Amino acid sequence: MAVYRARETERPDAHFRDPYAAVLAGDRGMEISRATSTSDRGWFFTTRTVLFDRFITAEIARGVDLVVNLAAGVDARPYRMELPASLQWIEIDLPSIIEYKSAILSAAQPKCRLERVPLDLADLEARRRVFADVGARAPRALVMSEGLVVYLSEEEVGSLATDLAAISTFERWAVEFPSPALLQMMSAHAVGQVVRDAGAPFKFGPAAGPGFFRQFGWQPIAVESMLRFALQLDRLPERLRMYAMGAESEDARQRPATAVCLFERSASR
C-alpha cells in the first residue's frame, strides 16, 4: 500500500502527498508490489486513502478527539495530515510492524499526540484490555480499520465489532470491505495466491453488505462506493469506467462492489 501511496504522491495532480510512503515501502514493498500486480491497482489504494482521509477530517471537525487505527501498518497519516495538536492518535498493530515503522520514522515529528500499541488483535483478552484502556482516554473516538477485515472470517469480524461496540466512547468506525463477488475475484487474482501463500487469505465479503454490522451494534451512516468515487477522482482505469457510470439501483447503493463505510455505534449498546 505504501508503494501506491508513494506513486500517487509523485503525480503532479496528486490527491494527497505522503513524503514518508516511499521510505516506508522500501525495497521489500516494491518486491511485493511487483509480485502481486498484473494490472493497475493504484486507483484502488488512492481512492481508499482519500476516502479514509475525508472521513477522518469530517469526524475531527465534528468533535472527535481520539482516532484509533487498527492494524495501522505503514500508514503515515499522523505525520502527513493537517491535524489538531491536541488530537490523540493511537496505532495498534503487531509488535514487528510497530518496531519497523518506529525505526524508520524515529526522526519525524507527528502533527498530533501519537502513540503506538503493539498487539495481536487475534488475542481476544489482550484486545479487550487494550480497547478498554484506550476507550477511557477520550470522550469521543473514531475507530478506523483500513485493509484489515477482508482477512478475517465473518465470525472474527463479528467478534471484533462486538468488542468495539462494548466501548461507549468508540462512537464511529470507518471500515472498508468488498462484496462477495469481488472477494471471489480478488481470491482468484494473483494477489489472492500471494496472500494465501503468506497465510492470510481473503475471507470477508458479507452478502448483507454494510447491514452485516447491525447485529453487532453498528449502524451504517455513510456508504461510499470505491468505483464511483474513483471515477470522481479521475483515477478509475478505462476498463472499469462502464461499471461506475451506469445507473445505480437501490441495492447497489446499499451494497456496492467495494466500499468504505462509516458506522455509528448503536445507542442501545
- pLDDT, residue 38, reads 47
- For the stretch 92-128, pLDDT in tens is 999 999 999 999 999 999 999 999 999 999 999 999 9
C-alpha 178/C-alpha 209 separation (Å) is 8
- H-type alpha helices, the chain: 2-10, 21-36, 42-62, 77-80, 95-104, 124-135, 154-165, 180-188, 190-197, 226-232, 238-245, 250-254
Distances (CA, A) of 44 to 32, 47, 219, 262: 16, 5, 25, 18
Task: Check residue 63 and report its DSSP letter.
Answer: T
Q: What is the pLDDT of residues 191-233, one digit of tens each?
A: 666 667 767 788 999 999 999 999 999 999 999 999 999 999 9
Hey, what amino acid is at 258? T
All structural domains of the chain with their residue ranges: 2-265
pLDDT at 182: 85
Compute φ and ψ for 7, nearest 5 degrees: -65, -40
Tell me: pLDDT of 39 over 70: no
The reported pLDDT for the residue numbered 192 is: 61
Instruction: Report the amino acid identity of residue 194.
Output: V
Residue-wise pLDDT tens digits, 142-188? 999 999 999 999 999 999 999 999 999 999 999 999 988 888 877 77
Q: CB 220: neighbour CB atoms within 10 A?
A: 19
Residue 269 confidence class, pLDDT cut points 50, 70, 90: low
Q: Which residues of 57-91 are buried (b: 16+ CB within 10 A; e: fewer)?
A: eebbeeebbbbbbbbbbbbbbbbbbebeeebbbbb
Instruction: Give the strand pairing for 113-118 and 141-145.
Output: unpaired
Residue 178 φ/ψ, nearest 5 degrees: -95, 170
pLDDT of residue 139: 96
Average pLDDT, integer, range 31-60:
84
Per-residue pLDDT reduced to its tens digit, 57-72: 999 999 999 999 999 9
Nearest to 232 by CA among 223, 220, 248, 245: 245
pTM of the model: 0.91
pLDDT for res 200: 72
Q: Rounded to the nearest 5°, which phi and psi values hold at 132?
A: -65, -40
Which residues is 177 bridged to in the sheet? Answer: 259
Average pLDDT over residues 20-28: 88
More confident of the two residues 131 and 147:
131
Question: What are residue 23's phi and psi, to 5 degrees?
Answer: -70, -35
In CATH terms, the superfamily for domain 2-265 is Vaccinia Virus protein VP39 (3.40.50.150)
